[in-house]
Amino acid sequence: MKYQIVGEPLPVAICTLEPGQTIITERGSMSWMTPNVKMETKGVGGVGKMIGRAFSGDSAFQNKFTAEGGTGQVAFASSFPGSIRGYEIAPGKELIVQKSAFLACDEGVELSVFFQKKFGVGAVCGEGFIMQKLSGSGTALIEIDGHAVEYELQAGQSLIIDNGHLAAMSATCTMDVRMNKGVKNLLFGGEGAFNTVVTGPGIIVLQTMPAPGFAEAITPFLPLGENK
């Protein structure tokens, strides 16, 4: 996939398609495209897989964009102020992303539901019990809320992350939860009772402005509505 990312903090990925090349997206994120790009909506896998994705809150359908009769162009805009990043997916380089992160990918990349092995991690961490896994081979574009910061963790190396700030991690990383110690920390620290702990090896992608946190921050300043 050839692409150019422009316009942060309101970015768009402008993708160039060779004749016959296809790009896949999960939702209506297409912003513009050339007339020779054909869009087709298809179900994801068989009926069982479609039902499973719908049950988890993911879309049971995908939009496929294919260039016909020459080189084409299609653009995908971010749904929230932040960043768009491209990652090469390959066997051994699978990526786990938050549910809202996936934007688009090559046809060779498979998007599937990823369940946290430890229910407690998903129950108390802002990343949720259900995430998405990108496997197969090709390029994947993901959205980051705010600015993206990337670290590469060595085997056994960990990072403590506030809830909601983890956007993506290598499938080789493991996620756990840690409770903050001390009564004063819990009651007055303002950081919540739990943090996410990610342990390598692999890369982790952090986001500086999670959408839920942004919504919570501006809520006190929103009008309550006019009296009728």
When pLDDT is cut at 50, 70 and 90, the band that residue 180 belongs to is low
Task: Return the domain boundaries, the chain.
Answer: 2-220
Q: pTM for this one?
A: 0.83
Specify the 3-state DSSP secondary structure of 97: strand
Of 52-66, 129-143, 152-166, give the lowest mean pLDDT range: 52-66
pLDDT exceeds 50 at position 228: no
DSSP class of residue 67 equals: E
- Phi then psi dihedrals of residue 127, to 5 deg: -75, -20
CATH architecture assignment, domain 2-220: 4-Layer Sandwich (3.60)
When pLDDT is cut at 50, 70 and 90, the band that residue 190 belongs to is very low
Of 13-17, 51-55, 64-68, give the lowest mean pLDDT range: 51-55
